[in-house]
């Protein structure tokens, strides 16, 4: 399992922003760093298939040897985790976890319970997500992403809104759960990069207007 960015180039209004040619292996976390506006989050949007209209893309995106460059987002099998947990307020904690699972998924309830256990939230499935702490909400968001069975994981500043006491805990939890997946982490934080224990790439593309 690997994620290949094959001569991938992103332009904004004709001006180059990002140019990458690399492979992220299974179990590897590639950290991408750089100043605000240089194209880090835009790169993740391109990989997941949600590039805004102002940008153009060339090159190829390969996942497990399959060209996914022109596939719609829902068919790319990539999980994307943002800095905001984006939990659905009208669903319970269990409902949020099960959002990415089809209703006819075998052992659906058992898989949700297992995810609750891994997140340290056993017995909290019926709770309103608004009653959870920031760290608990972040764990639910991660486990919801992983329950959708992604074949690659994209992390967009996922720890930036957590207080210092929670960051180390969430870094360790996230990278443990992501084992076996090719993972790209976008961050400004050197401690995030150190915790990822993988290669670090600095993007210095032209800032967006």
| Domain boundaries, given as residue ranges, for the chain | 1-77+152-209, 90-149
Rounded to 10 deg, the angle between the 108-118 and 134-147 helix axes is 140
In tens digits, the chain (209 residues) has pLDDT values of 899 999 999 998 888 889 999 999 999 999 999 888 788 999 999 999 999 998 999 999 999 999 999 999 999 999 999 888 889 999 999 999 998 788 888 899 999 999 999 999 999 999 999 999 988 999 999 999 999 999 999 999 999 888 888 899 899 999 999 999 999 999 999 999 999 999 999 987 654 43
- Per the CB < 8 A criterion, the answer to whether 159 and 171 are in contact is yes
Q: Which CATH number applies to 1-77+152-209: 3.20.20.70, 3.40.50.300, 3.30.565.10, 1.10.3210.10? A: 3.40.50.300
The closest of 73, 68, 81, 24 to 51, measured between CA atoms, is: 73
The rounded radius of gyration (Å) of the Cα atoms in the chain is: 17
Quote the tokens at residue 118. 């891994």
Name the β-bridge partners of 60. 6
Q: What is the pTM of this model?
A: 0.90
């Amino acid at each position: 399992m690997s994620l290949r960015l094959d001569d991938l180039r992103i332009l904004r209004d004709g001006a180059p922003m990002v140019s990458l040619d690399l492979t992220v292996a299974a179990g590897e976390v590639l950290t991408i760093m750089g100043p605000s506006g240089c194209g880090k989050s835009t790169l993740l949007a391109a990989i997941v298939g949600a590039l805004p209209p102002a940008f153009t893309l060339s090159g190829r995106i390969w996942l497990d040897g399959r060209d996914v460059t022109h596939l719609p987002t829902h068919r790319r099998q990539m999980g994307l985790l943002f800095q905001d947990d984006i939990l659905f307020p009208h669903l319970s904690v269990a409902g949020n976890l099960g959002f990415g699972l089809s209703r006819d998924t075998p052992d659906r309830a058992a898989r949700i319970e297992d995810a609750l256990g891994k997140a340290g939230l056993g017995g909290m499935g019926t709770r309103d997500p608004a009653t959870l702490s920031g760290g608990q909400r972040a764990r639910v968001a991660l486990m919801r992403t992983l329950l959708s069975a992604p074949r690659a994981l994209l992390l967009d500043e996922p720890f930036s809104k957590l207080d210092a006491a929670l960051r180390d805990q969430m870094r360790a939890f996230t990278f443990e759960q992501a084992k076996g997946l090719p993972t790209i982490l976008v961050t400004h934080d050197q401690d995030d990069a150190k915790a990822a224990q993988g290669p670090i790439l600095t993007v210095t593309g032209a800032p967006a207007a």
